[in-house]
Amino acid sequence: MRKYEVIFVVRPDITEEEIAKLIGLMEGVVAGAGGAVEKVEKLGRRRLAYRVARQREGFYVLFLVSGSGDTVKEFERRLKVTDAVIKYMTVRVDEEMERAAKLKELRAKQEARRPRLKPAAAPPAPAAGEPAVG
């Protein structure tokens, strides 16, 4: 199963209860299509960079979904026909997660091979009659 990140923007005039219903509906769509919702995050109301459907603001919701391409296709179809959703975007993130894990592992190996330098010893204190150097 592949992992996808789906973010969508809901019209600002929609209430919190309606947004919760929409999130429940979308979770049901994913489950019905054979996928799994790993995370749902409400990002809140934000100003849009440009007008979308005559709106200046929107309520952002982020889904992290595991499933096949058909699961995401059905999810996007439902977003398209839902009047409350004004914009959405889907990104496949499983390759990015693998790449980040490999990079972390590589850095750990490089750190293990790098010789550790011992901290320099403190310079000896000057004798009672000598001026301090430095």
| Dist CA 19 CA 17 (whole Å) | 5
Task: Report residue 107 as tokens.
Answer: 């850095």
Residues 6 or more apart whose Cβ sits within 8 Å of residue 22 = 10, 14, 61, 82, 84, 85
Closest by CA to 63, choosing from 100, 85, 36, 83, is 36
pLDDT tens digits in sequence order for the chain, 134 residues long: 899 999 999 999 999 999 999 999 999 999 999 999 999 999 999 999 999 999 999 999 999 999 999 999 999 999 999 999 999 999 999 887 788 888 888 888 888 887 766 666 666 666 676 666 65
Which of the following CATH numbers is that of domain 2-96: 2.40.50.100, 3.40.50.300, 3.30.70.60, 3.40.640.10? 3.30.70.60
Q: Is 42 helix (H, G, I), strand (E, B) or coil?
A: strand
